[in-house]
Structure 1
């Protein structure tokens, strides 16, 4: 064997060791550095009504440009999106539809990041309040506060009695399945303005006195979501300030939420594409993601 052969063997060995060390430290394996990101939640997370629709599960009416997809595309995270329109807290731990697994099944100890919106469908809070107040507003041609007069504190009572404890249970289930993850729970962007606007009645047929009533119901729901988040070690992403002025009564290009009537989405009173992007951007800002 030539005299320089051992040197070549040593050089080759050092090169192999160096390559192995580089791969273990992530020097060349950029894919291994990406966040393992799981998106849970209801239609506000799914982006229901925003095109294009994810064809893999049409029951959930999940958009491929919802806020989880925006976050993943901007951070390079590896996304597993199991968001589903109409989801309630119970659907985190039980099947929402045949063939649709409980949402927490997507989580494991390797999950780095979890985002979600949930709670608005429990007790039918959103749909029942919007339907009740819209119907009452049409009957009075937008005058008075017929919805508040009839329903009083019933919606907020349900939130405190049922939704709040259900939120805590759902978030504890998330934590149990993903003990090492950072969990971000998003509040719901404003649907109505703080005060009645007569020009809004055509889009959102709610009586003048019921506009702040609906907003208070949403505020109480968001407060319950925030409390449950804090009690389970999750980060609450507050939209009360950044979404102000972007409610369903505003013009297209400004509003984040589509109105009940004459909107551009097949799913009214839900975020549009702009709303989903802004939800993603604010969440990334709160979490310090780039």
Structure 2
């Protein structure tokens, strides 16, 4: 029987990538804070002005590893197991817009973790801006996807077609609750949901990610479905959504110097496997800044 190219040359790298993700998900929970020191985004309405009761300069960031930026140097002094980078997109956004940042992003965080954070008293009630980026860890979605798609094409497509839809349906509801809770925790804040950048190219193989053409299609299907779930959650919660699907096209893990995300062999100090690079963090900060100005 013919063995697909991926199984021969890249399975070791894929296992390494998977192990890194397992450490993040098992070891981290949401929490922590810090004070903060460039393409046109795809957004959904509303974008109402910040009410006068809020402090427009106070910004809170809630998110998982795609927000925290593990592996991107330098790490925040109080990052703990959360792996927050001092060069993550919330920090860059705060610097760009002259905001005071409370960074509550944490690698491995689910919507449930972030809901707990909202109830912990660490979110300033007078915050003028709250960004939320979550959903990829809910139900083990992202980790299970990587597991399935580094084993076999059949397992990859089966997971995407048969298991992921139910997870995403639950994720949508959980995100709506999280976004609404953010609005009640900081009642004067503009709440903005931020999506995920592409990992896979639209078609073809992606050697940098160790995934062959058939599985690229399945991963793209899952990425697109997650983006749609986030868009629905934002609409139902009545908040703005900054989708990164369109802007990150051509900046996937196989885009070379133009990549916003890593494949299975990240450079030291520039993020971890299947996660944003420093370049990607800068791009996301610019997109969110354009959406909230």
Partner of 1:216, secondary structure, is: helix
Number of the residue aligned with 1:28 = none
> 1:250 and 2:219 equivalent?
no
> 1:276 and 2:276 equivalent?
no
Q: Which of the residues 197, 204, 209 maps onto 1:204? A: 209
Number of the residue aligned with 1:123 = 139
- Distance (Å, rounded) in 2 between the aligned partners of 1:229 and 1:93: 16
Number of the residue aligned with 1:55 = 77
- Distance (Å, rounded) in 1 between the aligned partners of 2:141 and 2:103: 24
Q: Which of the residues 72, 84, 87 maps onto 1:65? A: 87
Matched pairs, number? 239
CA contact (8 A) 1:38 1:106 kept: no
Deviation at 1:176, TM superposition (A): 1.3
Q: Which of the residues 150, 158, 170 maps onto 2:166? A: 158
What TM-score, normalized by structure 2, do the two folds share? 0.76
Q: Which of the residues 117, 124, 129 maps onto 1:113? A: 129
CA contact (8 A) 1:89 1:118 kept: yes
- Distance (Å, rounded) in 1 between the aligned partners of 2:213 and 2:56: 49
- Distance (Å, rounded) in 2 between the aligned partners of 1:93 and 1:159: 18
Number of the residue aligned with 1:172 = 180
Deviation at 1:269, TM superposition (A): 0.5
CA-to-partner distance for each residue in 1:112-161, whole Å, 9 max, x for gaps?
A: 0011210000011111101220232xxxxxxxx33344435234323333
Deviation at 1:238, TM superposition (A): 1.3
Considering only aligned residues, what root-mean-square deviation do their CA atoms show, in Å?
2.0
Number of the residue aligned with 2:39 = none
Q: 1:104 to 1:231 in 2, by over 3 A?
A: farther
| Structure possessing the higher relative contact order (Cα contacts under 8 Å, 6 or more residues apart) | 2
Partner of 1:105, secondary structure, is: coil
Partner of 1:225, secondary structure, is: helix
Q: 1:149 to 1:111 in 2, by over 3 A?
A: closer
The structure where strand makes up a greater share of residues is 2
CA contact (8 A) 1:40 1:103 kept: no
Partner of 2:60, secondary structure, is: strand
CA-to-partner distance for each residue in 1:81-101, whole Å, 9 max, x for gaps?
A: 11101100001233xxxxxx5
Q: Unmatched 5+ residue regions in structure 2?
A: 1-53
Number of the residue aligned with 2:16 = none
CA-to-partner distance for each residue in 1:5-61, whole Å, 9 max, x for gaps?
A: xxxxxxxxxxxxxxxxxxxxxxxxxxx976110011111111122111112132100
- Higher-Rg structure is 1
- Distance (Å, rounded) in 2 between the aligned partners of 1:112 and 1:267: 31
Q: Which of the residues 161, 172, 193 maps onto 1:185? A: 193
